[in-house]
Structure 1
Amino acid sequence: MRALFASFAVLIAFPLLAQQTLPPAPYAYRQLDDPAQEQTAQDLMETLRCLTCQSQSIADSDAPMAGDMRHQVRIRIASGESPDDIRNWLVERYGDYVSYKPEVGAATWPLFAVPVLLLVLAAALLLRRYRRRA
């Protein structure tokens, strides 16, 4: 019974230990040498959501996942990729949720259309009510 418990404890503890031994990505906490490239990277990182925290941008989050994403953004900016290409790559990899600035597409158009339709409906109801009183 002790051997079973010990092997179960090792199976549980091993993945936890492996997560703590990974070093952070090189550009997770280090800025690019070129100030213009770093500013471009910062501007992009402010518009990308941390998938772990979900309420912070990757620029503000200390989560390891956000660090990896910052690293990817910085090395891609340094290699000459445009911010739009990097955003598209991240959206393709992680889904629309990663972006604070979603684009209108086949899956997201209702998010943009429904509020407009509700405003039009409310205006029509108010106009109808106003005409009844007049």
Structure 2
Amino acid sequence: MMPFASEFWSRGPNDGLFWDYCLARELRFQTCRSCGVARQPPHPICPVCASADHHWVPAPATSRLYSFTVVRTAAHPAFKDDLPYIVAIVEFPELPGIKMVTRLFDADAGSLRIGVPLTLVWEPVSADLVLPCFRPGGPATG
């Protein structure tokens, strides 16, 4: 389990279902039923058509690295033992516009390249919080 103080995280008014799905180890994105546009983070109103009608769709198996940075200074003592670590922006080509900020594990920053395929991994933090993180490499096939 990665160190993570509870004061860094709390459910917001719009993201409860996102975290419930994550706890069940399902990555899902809120999607407008009216125009079909997916959005992250969750929001009660579609930014495209202003509809309040939405549902949750499973994340596609295909994801790739959009951008990343190496964190070398801990913003809080709870993260000091993890230094250095990689924070990444992940994109999902099958869901245009969806990008997600997350941790990247099992990666060497010197050999990372934008566009590399990624695989979803789950990082348990507490009994009620599991974070969606990623590592380089595409999803298993066969």
Taking structure 1 as the reference length, the TM-score comes to 0.21
Structure number with the bigger relative contact order (C-alpha 8 A, sep ≥ 6) is 2
Higher strand share: 2
